[in-house]
């Protein structure tokens, strides 16, 4: 699993309107953890929604407080299955 370019994912929010999230992979990451920063996609000043980190075995953890578990899972699945532009 390697998502190397920025992508946008639609998520179903449980307590507010559904939205598009911009996912930005951290490129200067020299260790074995893959880090993806999450931002609101179309705001003039994007809000940082947290990060999703994956280890080498594909296990992930969310670092933040703005997304509930269902929203975190949607974004983790998007990253895992991301194919990029065809």
Could you list the pLDDT tens digit for every one of the 86 residues in the chain? 567 789 999 999 887 889 999 999 986 666 678 999 999 999 999 999 999 999 888 899 999 999 999 999 999 999 999 876 54
Q: What pLDDT, on a 0 to 100 scale, did the predictor assign at position 30?
A: 67
CA end-to-end span of the chain, whole Å? 16
Nearest to 79 by CA among 12, 21, 16, 14: 21
Residue 26, Ramachandran bin (φ over 0: left; ψ between -120 and 50: alpha; else beta): beta
Q: What pLDDT, on a 0 to 100 scale, did the predictor assign at position 16?
A: 81
Q: What pLDDT, on a 0 to 100 scale, did the predictor assign at position 29?
A: 60
Q: What pLDDT, on a 0 to 100 scale, did the predictor assign at position 17?
A: 85
């Amino acid at each position: 699993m390697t998502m190397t370019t920025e992508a946008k994912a639609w998520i179903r929010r449980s307590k507010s309107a559904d939205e598009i999230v911009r996912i930005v992979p951290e490129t200067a990451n020299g260790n074995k953890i893959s880090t993806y920063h999450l931002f609101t996609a179309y705001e003039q000043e994007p809000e940082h929604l947290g990060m999703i980190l994956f280890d080498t075995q594909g296990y992930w953890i969310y670092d933040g407080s703005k997304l509930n578990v269902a929203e975190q899972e949607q974004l983790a699945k998007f990253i895992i299955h991301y194919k990029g532009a065809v």
